[in-house]
Amino acid sequence: MEWIAIIISCFFALNIGASGAAASMGVAYGSKAINRNIHALFICAIAIYLGATIGGGEVIRTIGEGLIDPQFLTIKIVIVILLSATMSLFIANLLGIPPIDK
pLDDT tens, position by position, 33-72: 888 878 887 887 788 788 778 877 777 777 667 677 778 8
Distance between CA atoms of 37 and 49, rounded to whole angstroms?
18
Q: What is the mean pLDDT of residues 84-100?
A: 83
Is residue 6 over pLDDT 80?
A: yes
* 101 in a structural domain: no
Whether residue 98 has pLDDT greater than 80 = no
> Does residue 9 lie in a domain region?
yes
Q: Is residue 16 part of a domain?
A: yes
* Residue 76 backbone dihedrals phi, psi, to 5 degrees: -65, -40
For residues 77 and 24, the model is more confident at 77
Spatial separation of the C-alpha atoms in residues 17 and 10, rounded to whole Å: 10
In a domain, 75, yes or no: yes
- Give which of 3, 2, 6, 14 is closest to 89, Cα–Cα: 14
| pLDDT at position 99 | 56
Residue 78: in which H helix or E strand, if any? Answer: helix 75-95
Number of domains in the chain: 1
Model-level pTM?
Answer: 0.66
Domain range for 52 is 2-95
H/E run at residue 91: helix 75-95
